[in-house]
């Protein structure tokens, strides 16, 4: 079993475009498609099975790729994520988060991640989240991403996301939700996905205890066991 964890452009060790205008939802979908499907060739018949584990933007981007290239993916795990279209308003806590990012003179990335954890985040891990962003100029990606989430029906990405919902409504391959029990931002999406995606219906979907929005930090080992068991035991 191989795990491929791509950086989003503007995050981690990737290139850091210095203008928020360099970022759009569609560009991130296209960048990820080029890396994962075109350059790495994952999911091709000679490359073995491909499972998506998408959390937060990993789902906003990854579910689009699944919907647009269903033949390349074997199964899906959606973890604290969704596919917003702007037809339903975002929860108030999300608007507070967006405003905090937009208004911050100094964007404390590590602290923002810690605020989305139910079990806390130690100083060393927070420092690791801060490390890729030595200057405010380098934080164009983190600053831009909240504003790219479709929040109104006329958003530039709304139609593509609606089309993705329609495609996921036909997805019959294995689909699992693994959400934390303490995420006020995306928690409501778990039952929506479970009802909408045929591959999720009738499946036992785990809820991870004491896990906030960033459940990979709160409950990383538990999430890893869930995903590994799903890959090993559930076949299309």
Give the pairing type, strands 207-208 and 51-55: unpaired
What region does 12 belong to: left with phi over 0, alpha with psi -120 to 50, or beta?
A: left
Predicted pLDDT of residue 20: 87
User: Is the CB of residue 190 less than 8 Å from the CB of residue 177?
Assistant: yes
Q: Per-residue pLDDT tens for 129-187?
A: 999 999 999 999 999 999 999 999 999 999 999 999 999 999 999 999 999 999 999 99
- The Cα 96–Cα 111 span in angstroms is 15
Neighbour order of strands in the sheet with 51-55:
51-55, 75-79, 175-177
Q: Hey, which residues are catalytic here?
A: 56, 183, 213
Closest to 78 in 3D by CA, of 231, 190, 182: 190
pLDDT at 54 over 90: yes
Q: Per-residue pLDDT tens for 25-51?
A: 999 999 999 999 999 999 999 989 999
């Amino acid at each position: 079993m191989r795990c491929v964890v791509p950086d989003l452009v503007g995050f981690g060790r990737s290139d850091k475009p210095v203008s928020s205008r360099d970022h759009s939802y569609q560009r991130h979908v296209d960048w990820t498609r080029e890396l994962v499907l075109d350059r790495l060739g994952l999911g091709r018949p000679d490359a073995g099975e491909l499972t998506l584990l998408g959390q937060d933007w990993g789902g906003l981007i990854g579910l689009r790729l699944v919907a647009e290239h269903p033949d390349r993916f074997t199964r899906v795990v959606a973890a604290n994520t969704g596919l917003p279209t702007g037809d339903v308003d975002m929860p108030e806590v999300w608007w507070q988060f967006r405003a905090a990012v937009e208004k911050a003179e100094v964007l404390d990335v590590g602290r923002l991640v810690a605020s989305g954890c139910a079990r806390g985040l130690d100083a060393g891990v927070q420092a690791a989240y801060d490390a890729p962003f030595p200057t405010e100029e380098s934080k164009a990606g983190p600053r831009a991403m909240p504003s790219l989430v479709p929040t109104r029906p006329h958003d530039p990405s709304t139609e593509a996301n609606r089309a993705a919902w329609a495609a996921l409504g036909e997805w019959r391959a294995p689909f699992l939700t693994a959400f934390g029990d303490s995420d006020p931002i995306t928690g409501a999406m778990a039952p929506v996905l479970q009802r909408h995606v045929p591959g999720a219906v009738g499946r036992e979907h785990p809820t991870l205890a004491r896990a906030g929005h960033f459940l990979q930090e709160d409950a990383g080992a538990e999430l890893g066991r869930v995903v590994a068991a799903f890959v090993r035991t559930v076949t299309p």
